[in-house]
Amino acid sequence: MISKQQIKTIHSLRLKKFRDESNLFLGEGPKVVKELLQSFSCTFLAATPSWIDANRHILPPGINCIAISADDLGRASLMDAPQQVLAIFNKKPSQLPSAHAMQSELCLALDTIQDPGNLGTIIRLARWFGIDHIVCSPETADIYSPKTVQATMGALGKVNVAYTPLPQWLCSLPGDIPIYGTFLNGSNIYEATLTPNGIIVMGNEGRGISPQVADCISHRLYIPPYPLGQPDIESLNVGIATAITCAEFRRRLSAAHQ
């Protein structure tokens, strides 16, 4: 049986203020909870008896775990369609990638991605493409927002996400690290030289990359529409643009290794 106080705590995690004060966040659903249990310490877990029976082997020893009815899960959950299990986790400290990481790997920088779902989708695809570090402007959505956590599908624990003012950070990097960004007047990504390392900057949903960040970018790229030059289309969703960009960097790198 879940208490009113426990439900109140869960619902408070909808708000960044309470997540920051408590250093906690919420994950829901079998896939997300299973993934998060591998990377974060869990302070509370509530699930249907059948989920608990089937998943005892993945529960850490000493976990605060309670069985609840589907009705109670519905009352506690923040989702439209609650899914068997929800759990509260401790947030983890984050840190900026080292200059060495960026000299050898590809990293993402997000310039004020405001939609929590877009942020979660980007974290999920970063994991798919083996990108270990994402650096966000302070105005980017919170990675621990429930919508972001759900959209990552559990990839949150596998990608290191840090927040810092981007112009200052980008300007402080060694000059040999390529900094890519997508712009409407950039070079066709399929014809541009792409390196196996560096930073890919993605811009805000409505305004794109801010002028201060644009000043730091060394390589301006463009994802061509089809047919090329079609005039009545303005943009792609930022998650989609990130995916196409990362896929092309990885396709080139894989082809170079063959």
Residues that bind a copy of itself (CB under 8 A): 31, 117, 121, 124-125, 127-130, 151, 153, 155, 158, 190, 223-228, 230, 232-237, 239-240, 243-244, 247-248, 250-251, 253-255
Nearer to a copy of itself, 65 or 236 (CB): 236
Pick 177 or 223: Cβ nearer a copy of itself: 223
Shortest spacing between CB 238 and a copy of itself, in angstroms: 11
DSSP letter assigned to residue 98:
P
Cβ 196 to a copy of itself shortest distance, Å: 10
Burial class from Cβ neighbours inside 10 Å (0-12, 13-18, 19+) for residue 210 reads middle
Smallest separation (angstroms) from a copy of itself to the CB of 243: 4
Considering beta carbons, is residue 71 or 80 the nearer one to a copy of itself? 80
Query: 1 vs 81, which CB is nearer to a copy of itself?
Result: 81
Kindly state the smallest distance separating residue 236's Cβ from a copy of itself, in Å.
6
Cβ atoms within 10 Å, residue 117: 15
Q: Which two tokens stand for residue 251?
A: 């396709």
Mapping DSSP onto H, E and C, the string for 46-94 reads EECHHHHHHHHHHCCCCCCEEECCHHHHHHHCCCCCCCCEEEEEECCCC
Question: Residue 46 or residue 246: which is nearer to a copy of itself going by CB?
Answer: 246
Pairing assessment for the beta strands 198-203 and 179-188 based on DSSP bridges: parallel
Cis peptide before 146 (omega within 30 of 0): no
CA distance 111 to 140: 7
In the complex, least distance from residue 62 CB atom to a copy of itself, rounded to whole angstroms: 25
Residue 140's nearest CA partner among 172, 168, 173, 162 is: 162
- Between CA 49 and CA 67 the distance in angstroms is 5
Nearer to a copy of itself, 131 or 170 (CB): 131
User: From the CB of 216, what's the least distance to a copy of itself, in Å?
Assistant: 25
